[in-house]
Every structure is written in structure tokens, then in C-alpha cells.
Amino acid sequence: MADAESALAEHFEELPQQRDAAKLGMWTFIATEVLFFGDLFMGYIVNRLAYPQAFALASHHTVVLFGTINTAILLTSGLTMALSIHAARADNLKLSGRFVLLTIALGLAFLAVKGLEYHEDFHEHLWPGSHFRPDLPAQAQIFWFLYWVMTGVHSVHVIAGVLVLCIIAWMIARGRFSAEYHTPLEMTGLYWAFVDVIWIYLYPLLYLINRYAAS
């Protein structure tokens, strides 16, 4: 309980008010993030509708195996994140900490796979610009431009998430949290779920839609 009292900032009256404020703040931030990615999705939709054939041909070159593995990794990490919060609520902070570490590991695994995939994409001359594969139509570069930007921005979010999770793990280790007070853990969980959801949209858009249509 001592933790809970020291966690109350001086401008709040009571802990539930502070928790509600943090929650509303995180949801508001996520609304902002949705529009941040929304801009990219809009760019994708407009160009996909303008150049369906080029996009279909271009998407054939994404590495669907890596994409699928990453989907599995990220979904599993969503589960471990949720389990960590569940454990904290049950006052089992040791278990909670372990799940956080597992989530970090899965996040890093996601980034590693993504790195391998980027490496392969690069070698396949799928980097837009003068060295782009000549066998693909010019508008395929638009697809690949979007691929790099969308997955790149998403990866930045994963990296940010992993860093925050490291701080959370440290806070758990220092005994900062309790069953009553673990708001930062919950907020990170919300953020991590958002990062998951964005990938759930990116995966079909970049790897699956019309993949074999134009071959």
C-alpha cells in the first residue's frame, strides 16, 4: 500500500482519479496514432485503386513466410502482455514480470525477423529508386514505397514499445507496483495492443490481397 500512496501525484486527489486520467490520456493518444497511420492507409487505398495490377504484381514479391511468422509472434506477445496485467491484478508481480520479459523477447524476435526480411527485400532490389527491379511496372515502386514506410513506422512503434516494456520490467523488479497500483503496466498494455492491431491491418494489405492474381 505504501507504493500506492507514493505513486499519487500531488495534483490529483486520489488514486482512481489519477488512473482514470492516465487511461483517458492513453486512449486519446491512441486516437492520435490511428490518424497517424490513417494517413498511410489513405495513401495505400488511393494508390491501390489507381494501380490494382501493379500493386498485385508488387505484392507478389513480399516474403509471406516472414510476414506470417511475425503475425504469429506479435499475436502471441499480445497474449503474454495481457497475462502480465492479469497476474499483476492478482498481486502475483513475479509472474507479471516474467510475462513482461517474455513480451520483450517476442518484440525483439519480431524485429529480428523483420530485419531478416528487410535484408532479403533489399537484395531483391525492392528498394524504390534507380536500382529498383526493372521487371516490375513503375507503379510497383509506389507499393514498395508504402511497404517500407508503413512497416518502418510500425517497427519504430515496436521499438518504442520494447523500450517502454524494459522500463516497466525494471519498475516491477524495484517493487513499484502492487495489485492496487500498476497503471503504467496497464497503459503499456493498451499501447502494445494498438501496435498489434496496426499489424493486423498491415499483414493482409501488404502480404495477402491479390497476391496471386496477376502472376
Partner 1 sequence: MKFPLLPPEASQVATRTDHLYSGLLCISTLVVFLVFGTIVVFLFKYRRGKPAPRSHLPLPELKIELTWTIVPTLIFLGFFTWGAELYWNIERPPTDALEIHVIGKQWMWKIEHAEGNREINELHVPVGRVVKLTLASQDVIHSFFLPAFRIKQDVVPGRYTALWFKADHVGQYHLLCSEYCGTHHSAMNGSIYVMSQPEFQQWLAKGQPQSTLAQEGERLFRQYGCSGCHVNSTSVRAPPLEGLYGKPVPLQTGQIVLADEAYLRDSILQPAKDIVAGYTNDMPSFQGHISEEELVEVIAYLRSLGTTTPALPASQRD
Partner 2 sequence: MKTLGRLEPTPELFSLPELKNYLTESHTLSSWLLTTDHKRIGLLFLFSIGVFFTIAACAAAAMRMELVTPPGDLVTSETYNKLFTMHGVLMVWFFLIPSIPSVLGNFVIPMMLGARDLAFPKLNLLSWYLFNIGGLLALYSIIFGGADTGWTFYEPYSSTFSNTHVVTMIAGVFIAGFSSILTGLNFVVTTHKLRAPGLTWFRLPLFIWSLYATSVIMLLATPVLAMTLTLVGVERLWGVGIFDPKLGGDPVLFQHLFWFYSHPAVYIMILPGMGVVSEVITCFARKQIFGYHFVAYASMAIAIIGFLVWGHHMFTSSQSIYAGFVFSLMSYFVAVPSAIKVFNWTMTLHRGSISFETPMLYALGFIGLFTIGGLTGLFLAALGLDVHLQDTYFVVAHFHYIMVGGMVTGFMAGLHYWWPKISGRLYPERMGQLAALVMFIGFNLTFFPQYILGYLGMPRRYHAYPPEFQLYNVMSSAGASILGVAYLLPVIYLIWSLKHGRKAPPNPWHATGLEWQTNSPPIKSNFEATPVVTGPPYQYPTEEEREMVHG
Interface with partner 2, residue 160, by CB under 8 A: no
Interaction partner, residue 53 (partner 1, partner 2, none; CB < 5-8 Å by kind):
partner 1
CB of 95 to partner 2, least distance (A): 30
Q: How far is the CB of 2 from partner 1 (least distance, A)?
A: 55
Q: Look at residue 200 and give the partner it binds from partner 2, partner 1, none, a contact being a CB closer than 5 to 8 Å depending on partner kind.
A: none
The full 3-state SS of the chain, as one line of letters, equals: CHHHHHHCCCCCCCHHHHHHHHHHHHHHHHHHHHHHHHHHHHHHHHHHHHCHHHHHHHHCCCCHHHHHHHHHHHHHHHHHHHHHHHHHHCCCHHHHHHHHHHHHHHHHHHHHHHHHHHHHHHHCCCCCCCCCCCCCCCCHHHHHHHHHHHHHHHHHHHHHHHHHHHHHHHHHHCCCCCCCCCHHHHHHHHHHHHHHHHHHHHHHHHHHCCCCCCC
- Compute the least distance from the CB of residue 52 to partner 1, in Å: 7
When binding is defined by CB under 8 A, the residue of 1, 2, 6, 10 that contacts partner 2 is: 10
Binding mask 120-159 for partner 2 (x = CB under 8 A): --------xxx-x-----xx-xx--xx--x---x------
* Partner in contact with 122, chosen from partner 1, partner 2, none, beta carbon below 5 to 8 Å by kind: none
Check binding of 37 to partner 2 (CB under 8 A). Answer: yes
Select the binding partner of residue 42 from partner 2, partner 1, none (C-beta < 5 to 8 A, by kind): partner 2
Binding site partner of 204, from partner 2, partner 1, none, Cβ cut-off 5-8 A by kind = none
